[in-house]
Amino acid sequence: MDIIEVMKRLNKLEYQQKLLLKVIEDRNLDFFKLIVEKSLAEREVEDFYRICEDLSIELEEQKAEGFVYFHPLYNKFKYSLHKNLEPKEAVQACLKQGLFIPLMNEFVKYL
């Protein structure tokens, strides 16, 4: 294993350790637990947040235009998830932790 790989792993462990400390304080941080369980790096979580923020904006725009069917947005979400995450577990963890509530409430309909 080269030094770059070791540094990546060390950074991931440091990030997950920070999340675990937050989880110890608040047992309802299910998304953070999922991140640690699935061994995601900080960059991968940032990508998840960015995707959800973009989809949240799309959801609001579509609602303003009168859309009532959001399965295409769910499909974008599902296919953009990190390979270690399942849509159902991600949606449920986000809802429990209070992340992206309007978006996740729509997605729960398609699980």
- At position 69, the amino acid (one-letter code) is Y
* CA-based nearest residue to 111, from 60, 75, 62, 57: 75
Which stretch of DSSP H or E encloses residue 55? helix 42-64
pLDDT tens digits for 73-92?
Answer: 999 999 999 999 999 999 99
Classify domain 3-110 by CATH architecture: Orthogonal Bundle (1.10)
- The count of C-alpha atoms lying within 13 angstroms of the C-alpha of 107, restricted to the half-sphere facing its C-beta, is 26
CB 12 within 8 A of CB 41: yes
C-beta of residue 46 within 8 angstroms of C-beta of residue 16: no
Q: In this predicted model, what pLDDT tens digit does every residue of 26-57 receive, in sequence order?
A: 989 999 999 999 999 999 999 999 999 999 99
